[in-house]
Amino acid sequence: MTDIKSFTFEELKEIGAKLSWEKYRAQQVFLWLWQKGVNSFDEMTNLSKEFRDRLRKEYHISHLVPERRRESADQTTKFTFPLKDGLLVESVFIIDQNRRTVCVSTQVGCSLGCRFCATARMGFKRNLAWYEIVEQIQAVGREMKLAPTNVVFMGMGEPLFNWQEVAEAIRTINSNYGLKIGARRITVSTAGIPEGIHQVAEFPYQVRLAVSLNATTDAVRSRLMPINNRYPLKRLFSAVRYYVEKTKRRVTFEYVLIDGVNNLREDALRLVTILRDIPCKINLIPYNPIPGSEFKPPTLRSVENFAHILYPYLPAVTIRQSRGARISAGCGQLAVNLS
């Protein structure tokens, strides 16, 4: 039986038109599925019994049920969800005052091979479909009994290598018939895929863009992130500049600080030179150790020093509290089935 949640809003309207549903039926059904998050057709109380019976004969309603849930003292919860084909993905819920953010995965595993990231060790398994992405948000909200206010595409995978599905997910997350989360509360994070950054620039939703920069020279960046061999800093920054000009929005740069590798005074000074004329925010992320890695986290003092060098030139610098690190829910710690 077909999963009715696999249809986009547009597809559901087309189905409705073909089957001569009344015009508003598709909207009602979509809203029940994605805004109310019902688990059965019987809960769709404004539809006639006969109409519900018809739907029930043709479709089922899928939803993700976590196989594992881990909570940490800092109000961060990590969920592991089995997918239909048995593969697993992880999502993280982070509470910060009034902000309730879901960090979603866009792929099972990842193809980029960043040396400091646990997800890279899984290798790439497959892309997620748009509804598997949105369903993570819905399932987390359902489990937490709290509606998410923000979404970050910062879980497993490279969103811009699965852009069509991510774009469709954003439409539903933002839709008045879907999760109704404002575009400005949605952040797409990329390791730096120029073509993808162009696509986000052309995308008619005001989502935020974050770029995982992590180094200030091609030599160091290529060592940490092999994707930099294909798209070196020059190409990355010409895409970033295009994005800024086109959208007039600021870009967030994420910078994972690794002791002795990219956290030296010279790195901070080079970062100032690179970012000075780009409207941006900088998010410093102290490296979260992953098993068997050669890298060491920076001392708190060195993180503060780094921030202090940037601050006079780049005042929008923040240090990301390492949330959920103790339950392996921190940045770069999402990975399943690693032995």
Query: In terms of DSSP bridges, do strands 68-72 and 76-82 run parallel, antiparallel, or are they unpaired?
Result: antiparallel
Select from 323, 317, 290, 319 the least CA-distant residue to 101.
Answer: 323
Query: Is 90 annotated in the active site?
Result: yes
CB 4 within 8 A of CB 59: yes
282 binds ligand SAH (CB under 6 A): no
Q: Choose the catalytic residue: 103, 117, 280, 331.
A: 331
Is residue 169 a contact partner of residue 34, using CB atoms and an 8 Å limit? no
Active site residue 114: no
Q: Which of 90, 135, 165, 254 is catalytic?
A: 90
Query: Are 159 and 190 within 8 A, CB to CB?
Result: yes
Q: Quick one: DSSP state of residue 62?
A: -
Segment lying near ligand SAH (by CB under 6 A), choices 36-44, 127-135, 281-289, 300-308? 281-289
* Max CA pair span of the chain: 70
Please give the backbone phi and psi of residue 274, each rounded to the nearest 5 degrees, phi first. Answer: -70, -40
Binding-site size, ligand SAH (CB under 6 A): 17
Is 189 a binding residue for ligand SAH by CB under 6 A? The answer is yes
Among the residue ranges 21-29, 35-43, 186-194, 303-311, the one whose residues contact ligand SAH (CB under 6 A): 186-194
Is 200 one of the binding residues for ligand SAH (CB under 6 A)?
no
Interface with ligand SAH, residue 209, by CB under 6 A: no
Half-sphere exposure of 91 (CA within 13 A, CB side): 31
Q: Which of 33, 61, 327, 331 binds ligand SAH (CB under 6 A)?
A: 331
Determine contact, residues 216/271, Cβ cutoff 8 Å.
yes
Per-state percent for the chain, helix, strand, coil, to nearest 5 = 40, 20, 40
The DSSP output letter for 41 is G
Stretch that binds ligand SAH, among 46-54, 57-65, 169-177, 185-193 (CB under 6 A): 185-193
Stretch that binds ligand SAH, among 27-35, 48-56, 178-186, 283-291 (CB under 6 A): 283-291
Is 91 an interacting residue with respect to ligand SAH (CB under 6 A)?
A: no
Of residues 117 through 146, those in contact with ligand SAH by CB under 6 A are 117
Which residues are known to be catalytic?
Answer: 90, 331
| Residues at the interface with ligand SAH (CB under 6 A) | 116-117, 154, 158, 189-191, 212, 214, 254, 256, 285, 287-288, 290, 331-332
